Structure 1
Amino acid sequence: MLNKIKPIDSGEQAAANPLFGMLPDEVKSLMESLGQKGYRANQIVEAIYRQRVTGIDEITVLPIGLRDELVQAGYGVGLPWIVQAARSVDGTERYLMRLRDGETVETVWMPDGDGGERGDGSEASAEEEAADGLEGNTSEFGEGAKRNLGNRDLRNVGALEQSGYRRATICISSQVGCAVNCQFCLTAKLGIKRNLTGGEIAGQVVAVLNRHGIKIGKDRINLVFMGMGEPFLNYDEFIRSVQLLVKQIGIPESRMTVSTSGIEPAIRKFAQEPLRPKLALSLNASNDTVREQVMPITRKWNIAQLLDAVSTLPLGKREWVTFEYVLLGGVNDQPEHAREVLDLLKGMRAKVNLIAWNPGPGIAYTQPKPEDVATFQKMLIDAGMPAYIRRPRGRDIYAACGQLKRTVDLPAADPLVEIAPAATPPA
């Protein structure tokens, strides 16, 4: 039986001028404009990013007069407001988050993740592999992951198991809707409404951290920019969110992965960033003909251009580039496609995440046969290409990869779903 999901306090979601999303220098300028000393900016930054307060009235180190002045000027913390939550039978939770202008996006919480980090050479990868095994890949990679992680960190993984999960992954949206129009994705049906601000992107994370009582530095949290939208079509605000999450909230970029459908100029720009999450390129086809059919953006930047852009990434000693590959029944999941993938990625420090397509209404594809998925993976592995099958999480509540669609019509009576009553935002 599912636990009831409690109503969620909206904090100051409706604030016209959100403080959350401002960089320290910007908060300092605001304080100076109000005739305040510089240390007040430090107090605000500490409160909204480290203490994760949801309302100005919670910043009790500020004088009441200053708090009132900020409110009267239209300032608030301004986190996204969780108005609906659905829980899957596998523990995944999908949140409908309302933004200050009334638009909504979806964010997903996956306890124990979905295996997406395995094999990319990061600490998150080592935790995944040490805890879960390789699920069909060669033991060489798994043992290497354990050596990379070290005994001390392995003990930390065990401690987390006692608290109910070993690690968790939060899947974040970067746009309201999406303009890329991938034919197998429900989000594509929404079109594009607008970009999110850096504060709205990072704010999704904080709203989920607060909901689950996560302690940064103690609990192991991974972030994936793989929700609604194309992060590289909202590049500057995506990078701003990374800066906030790393420098202010304290989540290292090594625990973040950004997925792109293939915006070639942005990939090259991303390669030059001093603060850079891991990259995952949504390949999803083994040749341009098939990729154009399922991902029309290929007409602008073909596979060869994308692979050339990816080759400019300065990889760390143990870092691998991830290629996401959604398997569509009878379209891109046959042995000849596997052979073409091997030819494409030959010589690259790459690993492939295979994703069995997650169905959605109105999309005319079929799921791949399990034996075709197994054959595809085996062909890659036998040729020396690390290949992993991503665990589908939250399919029953439309929370899996490609299923986010700003759902508002899930029936509360459904035994697989519990929906949180929408809290009323403060005046």
Structure 2
Amino acid sequence: MNPEKSQLVSLGETNVSPRKFLFGMGRAELAALMKEMGEPAFRGAQLAEALYRQRVADISDITTLPKSLRERLAAGNWTVGRPRIAQVFRSVDGTERYLVEGQSGTDTVETVWMPEGDEGESGDGSDAGDEELSPAGRTSHRTRATICISSQVGCAVNCQFCLTARLGLQRNLSAAEIAGQVIAVLDRHAVEIGRDRLNLVFMGMGEPFLNYESFMAAVRMLVEEADLSPQRMTVSTSGIVPGIQKFALEPPELRPKLAISLNAPNDDVRSQIMPINRKWPIETVVDAVRGIRLRPRERVTFEYVLLGGVTDRPEHAREVARLVRRTGLPAKVNLIAWNPGPGVPYSTPDPNAADNFKRSLAGEGIAAYLRRPRGRDIYAACGQLKRTVEQ
């Protein structure tokens, strides 16, 4: 018999069932699965506890389940299926950037761990923001950190100053792939929820409000199953008005805080550096934000990237102050000195320009904070995420 022909026949006859993932299912779905398998429903709660709070990554290690049930799950091609950290890059400042492999195992997305955060929460009216401002808050717990999470592989918004835009949009992440980034990083750093102070920012690769259902499903998973507080979460949008309108309808007990990626003092400049502004200009975005029922003391954050010579001049600061006052919203401005990326034709502003911009806003009565750049040397800073594999 021809050996090549024999090999082709055997491949054609192989019928391997696809793997089925437990990670991404809530306790109600897990309870239903257990009942289908003839097990009591409480096994679903045990599974949820193992997946999201104990952060078990292999079925064989879920010791709260009987060994026979673990074997039946494995025999049925069930696997935990939590996204996996495939590669780690570490900055001189302690920041870590991860390439995280999705459930398909065919591509990666970027996630960032920032020990001590970047002061992005300062003054936002939340407990996390108060800790940023309080020196005592920096020593009252074991660990304090921020995780920056991606919602898409690449991005379709095409902000001209952002390295991620060079990828274009490759695909949306599932809720499990979004939440899985968080659980994988929590596991890596042995974070203790309730004892450690952890903030989550949905500001990585992608526009969360263009993957709205998966983004919010991930938030619910992290709140309900992993016991994380939505008031320690912030989502940033470039100004996707339908997404903001949906967000306004979310119950406060599940809604993260909101940051608007403003980045320019007026529509003319913003349309040049953020083409999305041509569809939803600043006033349209602000009108949508006004529909959100803010929690007591909560502030909307306006993120503003300072591009050297483009958006960092004194007159720009005065325009931004007028714009923020005109919104009528309890708000603050986060200033971000542009982080360089290869092939992106902008420059980092002079440090004096950034400080002067902040002082100008403060002089106009606007709460303003300058975010610390973290992980620039490993392409982990804001606007630098592009699945770069070099240090």
Q: Using structure 1 for the length normalisation, give the TM-score.
A: 0.84
Task: Return the offset for 1:404.
Answer: 0.6
Tell me how many residue pairs correspond in the alignment: 369
State the match for 1:54 in structure 2. 57
Structure 2: distance between partners of 1:409 and 1:369: 27
Structure 1 residue aligned with 2:263, among 275, 281, 284? 284
State the match for 1:19 in structure 2. 22
Structure 2 residue aligned with 1:315, among 289, 294, 300? 294
Structure 1: distance between partners of 2:138 and 2:120: 17
Task: Return the offset for 1:62.
Answer: 1.8
Task: Return the offset for 1:27.
Answer: 1.1
Q: 3-state DSSP class of the match of 1:358?
A: coil
State the match for 2:116 in structure 1. 112
State the match for 2:316 in structure 1. 337
- CA deviations 1:38-76 (Å, max 9, x no partner) are 111111111111211111111122222321222232221
Structure 2: distance between partners of 1:179 and 1:74: 35
State the match for 1:69 in structure 2. 72
State the match for 1:403 in structure 2. 384
Structure 1 residue aligned with 2:213, among 227, 231, 236? 236
Q: 3-state DSSP class of the match of 2:286?
A: helix
State the match for 1:294 in structure 2. 273
Q: 3-state DSSP class of the match of 2:171?
A: strand
Q: 3-state DSSP class of the match of 2:199?
A: strand
Task: Return the offset for 1:180.
Answer: 0.7
Structure 2: distance between partners of 1:189 and 1:177: 8
Task: Return the offset for 1:83.
Answer: 1.3
- 8 Å contact 1:381–1:387 — kept in the other structure? yes
Q: 3-state DSSP class of the match of 1:249?
A: coil
Question: For residue 47 of structure 1, what is the amino acid of its counterpart?
Answer: A
- 8 Å contact 1:185–1:402 — kept in the other structure? yes
- 8 Å contact 2:132–2:138 — kept in the other structure? no
Query: How well do the aligned residues superpose, as a CA RMSD in angstroms?
Result: 1.3
Question: For residue 88 of structure 1, what is the amino acid of its counterpart?
Answer: S
- CA deviations 1:346-404 (Å, max 9, x no partner) are 13211000000000000001111222212211111001100000000000000000001
Structure 2: distance between partners of 1:231 and 1:74: 31
1:209 is the counterpart of 2:171: no
Task: Return the offset for 1:256.
Answer: 0.4
Structure 1: distance between partners of 2:318 and 2:346: 22
- CA deviations 1:126-145 (Å, max 9, x no partner) are 111002xxxxxxxxxxxxxx
- CA deviations 1:61-97 (Å, max 9, x no partner) are 2222321222232221111111111111111010111
Identity %: 61
Change (3 A) 1:317 1:100: closer
Task: Return the offset for 1:212.
Answer: 0.7
Greater RCO (CA < 8 Å, at least 6 residues apart): 1
State the match for 2:227 in structure 1. 250
Task: Return the offset for 1:100.
Answer: 2.4
1:348 is the counterpart of 2:329: yes
Question: For residue 160 of structure 2, what is the amino acid of its counterpart?
Answer: Q
- 8 Å contact 1:16–1:100 — kept in the other structure? no
Question: For residue 312 of structure 2, what is the amino acid of its counterpart?
Answer: D
Structure 1: distance between partners of 2:103 and 2:83: 7
- CA deviations 1:113-162 (Å, max 9, x no partner) are 0000001010001111002xxxxxxxxxxxxxxxxxxxxxx4x74243xx
State the match for 1:148 in structure 2. none
State the match for 1:304 in structure 2. 283
Q: What is the 5 A alignment of 1:145-164?
A: 154=136, 157-160=138-141, 163=142
Structure 2: distance between partners of 1:334 and 1:74: 59
Change (3 A) 1:24 1:282: same
Q: Using structure 2 for the length normalisation, give the TM-score.
A: 0.92
Question: For residue 206 of structure 2, what is the amino acid of its counterpart?
Answer: G
Structure 1: distance between partners of 2:33 and 2:340: 48
Structure 1 residue aligned with 2:152, among 151, 154, 175? 175
1:269 is the counterpart of 2:246: yes
- CA deviations 1:195-220 (Å, max 9, x no partner) are 11111111111111111111111111
Structure 1 residue aligned with 2:354, among 365, 373, 377? 373
Kindly report structure 1 stretches of 4+ aligned residues shifted beyond 6 Å: none
Q: 3-state DSSP class of the match of 2:85?
A: strand
1:222 is the counterpart of 2:196: no
Task: Return the offset for 1:302.
Answer: 0.6
Structure 1: distance between partners of 2:173 and 2:110: 12
- 8 Å contact 2:103–2:177 — kept in the other structure? no
State the match for 2:130 in structure 1. 126
Question: For residue 95 of structure 1, what is the amino acid of its counterpart?
Answer: Y
Structure 2 residue aligned with 1:42, among 27, 39, 45? 45
Name which one, 1 or 2, has greater alpha-carbon Rg. 2
Task: Return the offset for 1:299.
Answer: 1.1
- CA deviations 1:231-274 (Å, max 9, x no partner) are 11110111111111111101100100000111001101101101
